[in-house]
Structure 1
Amino acid sequence: MALGPRLEFRQAQSLTLTPQLMQSIRLLQLSHLELNEFVDAELLRNPLLERAEGDGASVTGDMTEAADQPETGSGFADTLDSAVHLPTAEAIAEHLDTAVEDVFPEQHRSEGQVSSGRERDSVDWSEAPDLDQFLSARPRLSEHLERQANLILRTASDRLIAGALIGQLDEAGYLNAPLDTTAEQLGAELADVEAVLGALQGCEPVGVFARDLAECLAIQLREANRLDPLMQGLLAHLPMLAEHNLSGLQRAIGCDREDLLDMLAELRRLDPRPGLAFDSGPAETVVPDVFVRLAPDGGWGIELNSEVLPRVLVDRVYYATVSKRTREPGDKAFLSDCLASANWLTKSLDQRAQTIIKTAAEIVRQQDGFLRHGIAYLRPMTLKMVADAIDMHESTVSRVTSNKYLATPRGLFEMKYFFTTAIAASDGGGDHSAEAVRHRIRQLIESESHSDVLSDDTIAAMLKREQGIELARRTVAKYREGMNIPSSVIRRRQKRDLATMA
């Protein structure tokens, strides 16, 4: 057969990820905050997009095809409703048990002036100031320490070192960076950095700029003039205290039990994380993406949270008006791209909402026992189980459940919480969820007495006898350590000491 160049035609099918398809997949894993930021950026870029005003109908799902559950007013909503109907500023102040000037300082009337009924009826409550505007904000730790450093340090070089040390504090007020590294970065002498650190350790709150827990407690005890040799010995043996080895502590320190208990009581009055009393940044509230409510017929009603769901519209009237007056090819191409992008975004947002509601409905269906009876009935569930049920790929389910939260009658849970591994039952029954097993281990440990502390082997035997759960001792130990529960030896010491102190 002769070798030579030739042309061949082949027909094949392949999936190509276009930029729009990749962006649509990316939208699935965004949280509602990230999604709103993305939509805001698109609104600024695309003149054909506009945000829909007013409350729109949210995507809902009812697994039992039951009627929508009527809204029931919560206590918070009732409080707001009663506040809205208070007729005067004096009535609001009386309702909050405070003075009028504390609530509405700019509306405070002079003494002796009485408002008439006509004035009360003409109050525009929509323009009343928000009470949150008059709440005092907690100062930031860095700002609080910088003000003190400027007062106690005299030279500019010392203030420069202080600024670097303040910037290295964590939110609890601890200094994690080595001093020699800080001195090298600033080009300063190590002795100067240590001197500035010693001065800063006298700042409020007492205990900041410590490099470990023992130093933090020592700073506070020194300020209270209680850092005697016995207390220094106790701080030097904090690991023994964490193990509740009180008899060993007595021998190491050289004190009797009564003195040791007094010192422990004094340590409990100290603050191991003094920096947490200051504002470390804005607190972000977790807002649910999906509401799960009990339907009247006993099923579950599922509804997307319309408050966090961005709704955009395509302004086709504006597009028709502008396209008639457009003559340049570049302008026409820009308008066509904007229209295609706007149509794609609205379609992608609707598809994202439908995918979330479909995934949430399947999670609720499989975890019906947990929602009705508690964590002991949490079923083992994997991404593949949900993906097969809703006819989607596992990667899609993984993206949909990332950074999404379900508000259920049992609390607020991340969607990922419901995906747990399965532990086979030794008696041939149904598999058990790893999270349910951890919950049972915690229950067994919390119910033990100081005279009967359960070892890991005993817990494994009890799980097998009660529920047919066959676990190795090392698996029980792994679950226990993952829940920050100490070993049976330490728990026995803790419970014995608590019984002795009681």
Structure 2
Amino acid sequence: MTLGPRLDLRQTQSLVMTPQLRQAIKLLQFSNMEVAAFVEEELERNPLLERDESPESGPPERPAPDQVAPLPAPADAAEAVNSDCLPTEAPLEAPDYAETYDPGGAGDGVMPGRGGSASFEDDDRTIEDYAAPGRTLREHLGEQLRLSFDDPTERLIAAHLVALLEPSGRLLVGNDTLAAAMGTDPEKIERVRQRMLRFDPTGMFAHDLRECLAVQLAEKNRLDPAMQAMLDNLELLARHDHKRLMAACGVDAADLADMIAEIRRLDPKPGASFDATPPQPVMPDVLMRPDPEGGWLLELNPETMPRVLVNQGFSAQALTRAKREDRAFLTEKLQTANWLVKSLQQRAQTILKVASEIVRQQDAFFRHGVGHLRPLILRDIAAAVEMHESTVSRVTAHKYIATPRGIFELKYFFTTAIAGTGGESHSAEAVRHRIRAMVDAEKPDEILSDDAIVLILRREGVDIARRTVAKYREALRIPSSVQRKREKAIPA
């Protein structure tokens, strides 16, 4: 046997992650907002891409095969759908001229030569453009500051306190620290702060929760010695230790209930209502509605699907007239544009295919509610649609579906299975829903412990352990049976 270098020719198969393949995978796991931002960047970067401005065609009378989940519908499904739909058989009647807008002259606010328009067709503004912007917390306090202090020194201290204010309305910096930083007396800072405690909303600039609540109670003339004793024992109130609270405040059960109700009506964070970022509405990727002939109809939301196309005419002219060094650039951009359009189409088809299979397997949930949600894992959907589990995971991440029961993330329908006593498994989400329903329906003198919940669930066919019930209860933020008994002992 001799040792030495030699050349061998071998043929093997391997998966190469090309940039185009990485882009397709990235688009698949993007949310609709991320896809829209990515497409906007490509439109600016690629001269051969353009936005599809053609009018969208209406929904077809009969859905495509991949848009329908052929499921049996209840007998009244068609009637329910027909009652909610507008008639589309006949066109509208001739317009009533009494309800027709007649663009006039100066009386209608349209002045020729002043940039006005006689119609509203070109006005794409919405109601949000006309709404007055909300004032920030510091602007609201700054107006009160200028009206409350005449002394320049006090006004400077007050402005410094406003700058140090927390978003919740709390002032966490002590008077001694502020006095050392500003070169003044702590007593002067305290005098200014005491006046600012009565600013609107009441309770701002408090050092802690106790002071914040005390100022609000004093504003309502409700800060009596019993209420002051309750504020001194807020830790007992947090633990719902009503017996020790009654002893500390010197009141009976009825008076304690009134005091607790008064405390609950206060605002522990008076500054939180300002500068709050408005919640962004969720835009569903898939729209779902009942089929009058049975089953469910699914379609992609056109508002979340970017519509781009390749400018074939411009690309053909540019390639024929381009120089040798520019032709390679245009060829690369043309390939990128074609791949992007193909990737977006494939992404839309994959989302619709996976969503249709989820709806088919969770049909009982859409018809009867959370209690009928069945266990489902990624492997079940992947085997049904003949895809890999990782692909299904990317498709269901940050994708939402609008159903007759509300808007849900596709990930919501994947829950673990809990074994049943009769052989049939139960969804963990359905079990959590059942635990919440049992706790909400319990009476003050019949508080259910975790062991009692386990017995009830086992009688209903759910084989569950006590520690699992405790874990689900804590995830639902339900207090223990001892704490619930304390809460319901005195109705506050």
Range class of TM-score, shorter chain: 0.7 to 0.9
- Find the partner of 2:67 among 51, 61, 69: 61
Q: Does 1:311 align with 2:307?
A: yes
Superposition map of 1:9-88 within 5 A: 9-53=9-53, 54-56=55-57, 61-64=67-70
Superposition map of 1:202-241 within 5 A: 202-210=198-206, 212-241=208-237
Give a deviation string over 1:273-298, Cα, whole Å, max 9, x none.
32343342243111111012111222
Give a deviation string over 1:39-97, Cα, whole Å, max 9, x none.
1111111111111112157786112299xx9898679xxxxx9xx98966999xxxxxx
Q: Does 1:496 align with 2:489?
A: yes
Q: Aligned partner of 2:399: which letter?
A: K
CA-based RMSD of the aligned residues comes to 3.7
2:329 match: 334
Give a deviation string over 1:106-141, Cα, whole Å, max 9, x none.
9579xxxxxxxxxxxx97353677554443343232
1:112 match: none
2:457 match: 463
Aligned-partner Cα distance in 1 for 2:3–2:44: 59
Aligned-partner Cα distance in 1 for 2:109–2:13: 75
The 1:378/1:123 distance shift into structure 2, 3 A limit, reads: same
Contact persistence 2:375–2:416 (CA under 8 A): yes
Aligned-partner Cα distance in 2 for 1:200–1:309: 51
Aligned-partner Cα distance in 2 for 1:73–1:86: 29
Contact persistence 2:418–2:425 (CA under 8 A): yes
Aligned-partner Cα distance in 2 for 1:106–1:345: 52
Aligned-partner Cα distance in 1 for 2:390–2:438: 37
1:352 match: 347
Aligned-partner Cα distance in 1 for 2:233–2:120: 62
- Find the partner of 2:405 among 410, 415, 424: 410
2:446 match: 452
Tell me the SS of whatever aligns to 1:50: strand
Gaps of 5+ in 1: 76-80, 92-104, 110-121
Contact persistence 2:246–2:252 (CA under 8 A): yes
Contact persistence 1:179–1:194 (CA under 8 A): no
Superposition map of 1:141-152 within 5 A: 141-148=137-144
1:443 match: 437
Q: Aligned partner of 1:415: which letter?
A: L
Give a deviation string over 1:396-443, Cα, whole Å, max 9, x none.
211111111111111111111111111011222x21000100111111
The 1:448/1:425 distance shift into structure 2, 3 A limit, reads: same
Gaps of 5+ in 2: 73-77, 87-91, 111-116
Aligned-partner Cα distance in 2 for 1:477–1:371: 28
Tell me the SS of whatever aligns to 1:343: helix
Superposition map of 1:94-109 within 5 A: 107=108
Q: 1:325, CA displacement in angstroms?
A: 1.7
Q: Does 1:376 align with 2:382?
A: no
Q: Aligned partner of 1:410: which letter?
A: R
Contact persistence 2:71–2:296 (CA under 8 A): no
Q: 1:483, CA displacement in angstroms?
A: 1.2
Aligned-partner Cα distance in 2 for 1:337–1:220: 67
Aligned-partner Cα distance in 1 for 2:394–2:139: 40
Give a deviation string over 1:151-181, Cα, whole Å, max 9, x none.
6674597477446524x42xx4456xx538x
Give a deviation string over 1:191-230, Cα, whole Å, max 9, x none.
8797586665443222234465434312322444543443
Q: Aligned partner of 2:489: which letter?
A: R
- Find the partner of 2:476 among 483, 488, 501: 483
Contact persistence 1:295–1:301 (CA under 8 A): yes
Q: Aligned partner of 1:64: which letter?
A: P
Q: 145-154 or 357-366, which moves further after superposition?
A: 145-154
The 1:311/1:106 distance shift into structure 2, 3 A limit, reads: farther
The 1:481/1:85 distance shift into structure 2, 3 A limit, reads: farther
Contact persistence 2:257–2:490 (CA under 8 A): no
TM-score of the superposed pair, with normalisation by structure 1: 0.80
Q: Does 1:247 align with 2:243?
A: yes
Aligned residues: 456
